[in-house]
Structure formats: structure tokens, C-alpha cells
Amino acid sequence: MTEFRLRRTLLYVPGNMPSMLQNIPMFDCDGVIIDLEDAVPYSEKDAARILVRRFLEGYTDRNKEVIVRINPLDSKWGILDLKEVLRALPDGIRLPKADSPEIVERLDTLLTEFEEELGVEIGRFKILPSIESAAGVINSIRIARCSKRIIALAFGAEDYTASLEIERTKTGEELFHARTRVIWAAKAAGIQAIDSIFADVSDMEGLRRETRLIKTLGFNGKSLVNPRQIELVHEVFAPKQEEVDYALQVVDAIQRARTMGTGVISLGGKMVDAPVVKRAVRVLKTAKAHGLIDIELDEEAIYGEK
């Protein structure tokens, strides 16, 4: 079974800002993306990657997932970024301009070489490809399946709309097809889907509307540009009490069904079968992560013996 890990909020932190880096342990997000790409001016690229490496080496008691966005592999900085920051053992690498499976496979090979050199477990470093162009959207299905290191597909709406020579709107009609294709690709591959940033940090209602939309579509979380956005996104992704109550009833019903030797049972006149159970378990795991419930799920009792 795929590891359950919350990635509701992945906060971008500029790699050239020591004050922001030092605040990472205090941010209440699920993960951070330390940025060596767009947030860092050309003149500061070399200093930033050293700064990030030193910060990570001192951040030993890590309380959240740490991913580093490197520069594109075909730039003059991409490989240098890897050489510097991997020594400090981040959890993963966000790969910008992941337009094809071949570029992700190249990163996979490089990570294996670095793991061998560092003497760490092969597969330790994860990959978060950024789907941020028309080509990336078209190839997203192949990209999602091209490496076992991939934990999620991340959609980048700003670069995507730029590649299509269109404006990004707050209502997001222009993003619908790309978003749904990224979600289909990710979910079919058994990984998560992470939505794009919402750039207007002063428009909290706009962020709420967009977060509700992408949750409904099937995204697991969003990339963020400001710590102020964290609490609102967590609030939207938190299961409602009625959802938790119904999920508990579903799990109780299916466990009773198992004792009767069946995998289907009626609950309030509605059939409870495998998809309903899977959805209920996901709600309960999310609720537990939010601190809304404190129960241990016996997945063998729920899904039956293998």
C-alpha cells in the first residue's frame, strides 16, 4: 500500500534569504520547497546553493519534508545545485521544466550516482517533477510512471500559461484541462498531485475559492508563496465532522462484513464496497493527521487478509 503522507501545503522559501531559511522549522506547513531557481538572481546562484547546503546540514531535527527546487538540468547551474545540496540530504528534488520522461530519467540516473558516492540508500532522494508547459501536460502520463522516485506531479500554472501565451485568471477556466490531465496522470500512477501557487497573497478569499476547486478536482495540496496561506489551505483540506462520522460508520460496517465472509454490506440503504471503503480510510487518515481523531486503523480487518 502506498505510504500516506500529507502534502497539503508545500511552501516556497527563497534559497538566498537566510532569515527565511532560519524560519523553516517554525512554519506549520507539510513541507518546504527551498528555491534555487526563479527566486534567486543569476548573480546569487553560487552563494545561494552553499547557503542552502549549510542550512540543511544544521537542520538535523527536521519536522517537515524538505525539497529543493534546482535550476533546470540543461542550465549551467542544475548539476552544480545537485552536487552542493545533496550532500546535506534533502528529502527530494523539485525538477523544473519537466517536459518529458527523458529529462526525469536523467535526474533519476544522476541521483543514483550521487547516492552511490554519498553511501546512502539507493532511492533515498525523491523527485517532484514540475509540469509547467504544454509539452509537459501532454507527456504527464509517461512522466508520472518513468521513475519510482516520483512522489507527486506538481502543476506550475504560471509557466504553463506563459507557454500558451495566455493570461492566468483567478477563476482558472484556462487551466481546467491541464489540471485534470495532471491529476489523471498522477492518480493512475498511484502518486499525489500538487497544484500551482496562488500568487496574490492579499486575496485570501480568492485562495479559498481556488483551494476548494482543486480539492474537488482531486489535488492533494498546493504550492504556496507565503506562510500566511498555510492555515487557510489546511482548513479547506480538513475533513468536515460529518465526513469523519460517516467514514467511521463505513469502516465499522465493512469490518462487520468481513466477519461475515463478505466484502460488501449495506449502510443506511447504500452499498458499501471497496471504493467507498478506500475513500473512508483516506478521510480517516487525513482526519488523524489533522488531530481530529485518535484511532489506529487495522487495515487487515478493513481490507481483509492478502
DSSP symbols for 15-70: TT-HHHHHTGGG--SSEEEEESSTTS-GGGHHHHHHHHHHHHHH--S--SEEEEEP
Least confident span in 61-75, 143-157, 176-190, 265-279: 265-279
For residue 261 the three cell numbers come to 465472509
Residue owning grid cell 552511490: 116
Q: Which residues contact 64 (CB under 8 A, 6 or more apart)?
A: 24, 25, 27, 29, 30, 31, 32
User: What is the spatial distance between Cα 207 and Cα 106, in angstroms, rounded to a whole number?
Assistant: 35
Instruction: Name the amino acid, one letter, at 147.
Output: S
Has residue 1 got a pLDDT over 60?
no
Query: What's the average model confidence in pLDDT over 99-109?
Result: 98
Query: What's the average model confidence in pLDDT over 276-293?
Result: 88
> Can you give the pLDDT at residue 290?
82
The pLDDT tens digits for 49-91 are 999 999 999 999 999 999 999 999 999 999 999 999 999 999 9
For residue 20 the three cell numbers come to 527565511
For residue 295 the three cell numbers come to 484511532
As beta bridge partners, residue 67 has: 33, 92
CB 96 within 8 A of CB 60: no
Q: What angle do CA 43, 44, 50 make, to 5 degrees?
A: 145
User: What is the Cβ-side half-sphere exposure of residue 285, based on CA atoms within 13 angstroms?
Assistant: 15
> Can you give the pLDDT at residue 3?
67
Has residue 12 got a pLDDT over 80?
yes
Has residue 299 got a pLDDT over 70?
yes
Query: What's the average model confidence in pLDDT over 198-212?
Result: 97
For residue 227, give the nearest of 252, 204, 258 by alpha carbon: 204
Burial of 87-126, coded b for 16+ CB within 10 Å and e otherwise, reads: ebebbbbbbbbbbbbebbeebbebbeebbeeeeeeeebbb
Count of C-beta atoms within a 10 Å radius of residue 188: 12
Q: 306 pLDDT band (50/70/90 cuts)? A: low
Count of C-beta atoms within a 10 Å radius of residue 1: 7
User: What is the spatial distance between Cα 194 and Cα 274, in angstroms, rounded to a whole number?
Assistant: 25
Look over the chain and give the mean of its residue pLDDT values, rounded to a whole number.
94
